[in-house]
Amino acid sequence: MRQVTIKTIADELKLSASTVSRALNDHPDIHDDTKRLVNKLAGELGYRPNIMARNLKSRTSNQIGVIVPEIRHDFFANAISGIEEVAYQKGYTIIIAQSNEEQEREIINLNSMYLNRVSGIIVSISQSTNTESHFQKLIERGVKMVFFDRVCQTLNVPKVHIDDFESAAKVVNYLIGKNYSTIVHFAGPQSLDICRKRKLGYEEALGKPGSNLKSVVIEAGMHENDGYNSMNKLLEMGIESCAIFAVNDPVAVGAVKRMKELKIDIPGQMGIVGFSNNPITEMITPRLTTVDQHAFEMGQKAAEILIDEIEGKNLNGNQLDIKLETSLLIRESA
Amino acid sequence: MRQVTIKTIADELKLSASTVSRALNDHPDIHDDTKRLVNKLAGELGYRPNIMARNLKSRTSNQIGVIVPEIRHDFFANAISGIEEVAYQKGYTIIIAQSNEEQEREIINLNSMYLNRVSGIIVSISQSTNTESHFQKLIERGVKMVFFDRVCQTLNVPKVHIDDFESAAKVVNYLIGKNYSTIVHFAGPQSLDICRKRKLGYEEALGKPGSNLKSVVIEAGMHENDGYNSMNKLLEMGIESCAIFAVNDPVAVGAVKRMKELKIDIPGQMGIVGFSNNPITEMITPRLTTVDQHAFEMGQKAAEILIDEIEGKNLNGNQLDIKLETSLLIRESA
DNA sequence: ATAGAACCTGCAAACGATTGCAGGGAAGGG
DNA sequence: CCCTTCCCTGCAATCGTTTGCAGGTTCTAT
């Protein structure tokens, strides 16, 4: 007999499969002596319950699906870490897929998880996703779903993300307090929700009563070289002393690189703040002031909410829209 | 009727479940008209095969378990990306767990995957793992396993990793070619296999015939501040011009930081090389020369081997011990 | 002595899909 | 007209566990 099953034990002990099953599950109907006997033999035989059979019977898998654009991105890797942490504590297993920023692959992965009968799905949507029907369809069929970071606003499921608007305003207010004469924003592509919100937050903070700072925005991409180039543009505009709020860390790093080449004093002549708290921000000189998005905690929170949904402990219906506090990490660059 | 099953379709069409099953699986025994009918209704009813039932029947899950120390580490995140990529192509799903460098948790995760009947497991062992019995036990029970990066040398299963010895020698040979008068090694803890091998590679290259370079090793940890402190030690030793081979990138970055504070010219007065190709190496000034470990490819390779094992396509028995080529990325720091 | 409670245990039917075997009908050959 | 062969389809067992129900024993209380 290849596999040790409940039946193996039952036969050996001249019991029925049901008694063995109950004994293993510590059911009160079973005599303690029987339980001891069964457990002892189970141990000796190296019995392991067949989870597939159990899942089939219970119609659930205790698996949580996670779909992110790219696992290798620092932010997502951290978020996944957080998800795994919580899932592990609560007895769930996570299965992971990446969309590589392609909608098509997002759809395939989503459906594959649906087929696999995962207990729930945590998603951060891909950049190229321009429809929500694939999510909508599953939600209608009762699949538990939670979005994080890159959420889909129009869908009626829980979301966990940061308040980009508030966070940006927080940064700018800090810079205002530092008495910089000009506060510039190196913005990201305005097609992206988060970039738009960060810019709005910047403008909101600048426009506060009593402030006579004018808005200076240079829009570019989100990579290091974009920051480098924006820095050149800034100088062409004749601005020689200011504070810069960069849309993210790579852009800030690129700007810093150019500033160092030009021997611009940081933060004396120009201050600069990034966004995301990439590991690099702490390794460059000067250490970069930035905004920590608490990726790990975001993952944890998303997992907690999903598991609550799965286990029917959801208090607030699906209206949950959690904006996690960000932290302004004040270091040396501003 | 809540769930649409094969039986639902069978009843509706007044067929038997077996006919429906065969029709869905395009079995030659079934008439084309029947197939068309069945597939049509299946589509309309939104039928999805219950993978758990199928798995139970087929005694396999098409899932691959992955256990790494920490998902958030750049290297592992990349490796996982690679694993997922291959798994996705070949129709497997990956389930992920992290050991947080704790042996106990590694064991729990390993056993949980075993219970879940994964088709195979890919592991990079935790730092605190000091026994191999938990792996050994599963291997004896026929679980397919592949190690990557942090491999367990004594176990008779496929391994994928880099040749630390060769890679280190490659770095040092490059530095020798640059005519540095002294070549120093900032070594990591010699309790770790990889650190020991890198040091040996360093010594090997230095000891080559015709070279009269003497070995200068400063042993410390693997973090940025270790590099910073080692730099100070180096100067105390009176060495003012040399090339440094750091055990990894953070150590190199720490050293660079100190060098910049002291206005040491890089690479003129001192050259420095890191190890791993962390993203940061390209963002600091000067851009760091380092060794690329091809994490993504390593993950791909490990997944390919595992899947070959699972599908019985393994050519070379379990003796596979793949040392992936590393690349010396020559940039500005040396 | 006996009813009732309290305990144990087993039967058998699920869960949903797959598959060996066999039955039934139609077509074709003798 | 009968037998064989080829198609198509269904029966029933199987994968391993769980669980409602019922049967059986022992013990306690009246």
What does pTM read for this prediction? 0.87
Chain A segment 288-307 residues within 8 A of B by beta carbon are 296
pLDDT band at A318 (very low <50, low <70, confident <90, very high): low
Residues of B in contact with A114 (CB under 8 A): 48
Mean pLDDT of chain A: 91
CA of B119 to C1' of D12 (A): 30
**Is B97 in CB contact (< 8 Å) with chain A?**
yes
Pick the closest to residue B45 from B2, B85, B80, B82 (CA basis).
B2
pLDDT tens digit sequence for A49-93: 999 999 999 888 889 999 999 998 889 999 999 999 999 999 899
Nucleotide nearest to A47 (CA to C1'): D16
Say whether A95 and B93 touch across the interface (CB within 8 A).
Answer: yes
Q: Do A6-49 and A164-292 come out as alike in CATH topology?
A: no
Question: Which of A1, A5, A52, A58 has the highest number of chain B CBs within 10 A, making it the mutation to test binding with B?
Answer: A52
Pick the closest to residue B163 from B1, B33, B324 (CA basis).
B324
Residue B39's identity, in one-letter code, is N
Residue A245 and residue A171 in contact, taking contact as beta carbons nearer than 8 Å: yes
**pLDDT value of position A319:** 72
**pLDDT value of position B35:** 87
Tally Cβ neighbours within 10 Å of residue B38: 24
**Is A252 in CB contact (< 8 Å) with chain B?**
no
**pLDDT value of position B316:** 64
Residue B190 and residue B219 in contact, taking contact as beta carbons nearer than 8 Å: yes
Helix A17-24 and helix A32-45, axial crossing angle in degrees, nearest 10:
90
Helix A32-45 and helix A6-13, axial crossing angle in degrees, nearest 10:
120
What are residue A186's DSSP bridge partners? A218, A246
Pick the closest to residue A216 from A197, A229, A235 (CA basis).
A235
Kindly list the distances between the CA atom of residue A78 and the CA atoms of A69, A72, A115, A145, B125, in Å, as whole numbers in the listed order.
Answer: 13, 10, 27, 20, 19
Torsion of CA A9, A12, A14, A19, to 10 degrees: -10
Digitized pLDDT (tens) for each residue of chain B, 334 residues in all: 467 899 888 888 888 888 899 999 888 888 888 888 889 888 888 888 999 999 999 888 889 999 999 998 889 999 999 999 999 999 899 999 999 999 999 999 999 999 888 999 999 999 888 899 999 999 988 899 999 999 988 899 999 999 999 999 999 999 999 999 899 999 999 988 889 999 999 999 998 877 788 899 999 999 999 999 999 999 999 998 999 999 999 999 999 999 999 999 999 999 999 999 988 898 888 999 999 999 999 999 999 999 999 988 876 666 789 999 999 999 999 8
Q: How far away is chain B from the Cα of A298, in angstroms, using its nearest Cα?
A: 14
Architecture of domain B164-292: 3-Layer(aba) Sandwich (3.40)
CATH of domain A59-162+295-326: 3.40.50.2300
**Segments making up each domain of chain B, as ranges:** 6-49, 59-162+295-326, 164-292
Pick the closest to residue A50 from A9, A89, A105 (CA basis).
A9
| pLDDT tops 50 at residue A128 | yes
Q: How far away is chain B from the Cα of A115, in angstroms, using its nearest Cα?
A: 6
**Is B250 in CB contact (< 8 Å) with chain A?**
yes
Q: From CA A65, how far away is CA A98, in angstroms rounded?
A: 11
CA of A168 to C1' of D27 (A): 75
Q: From CA B305, how far away is CA A5, in angstroms rounded?
A: 31
Longest C-alpha distance within chain A, in Å?
A: 91
Q: From CA A228, how far away is CA B271, in angstroms rounded?
A: 26
**pLDDT value of position A132:** 92
Say whether A141 and B88 touch across the interface (CB within 8 A).
Answer: no
pLDDT band at A1 (very low <50, low <70, confident <90, very high): very low
Say whether B95 and A97 touch across the interface (CB within 8 A).
Answer: no
The yes or no reply on domain B6-49 and CATH 3.30.980.20 is no
pLDDT tens digit sequence for A3-47: 789 988 888 888 888 889 998 888 888 888 888 888 888 888 888
pLDDT tens digit sequence for A233-287: 999 999 989 999 999 999 999 999 999 999 999 999 999 999 999 888 988 889 9
**Is B37 in CB contact (< 8 Å) with chain A?**
no
DSSP code of residue A281: G
pLDDT band at A317 (very low <50, low <70, confident <90, very high): low
Tokens encoding A40 = 């002892």
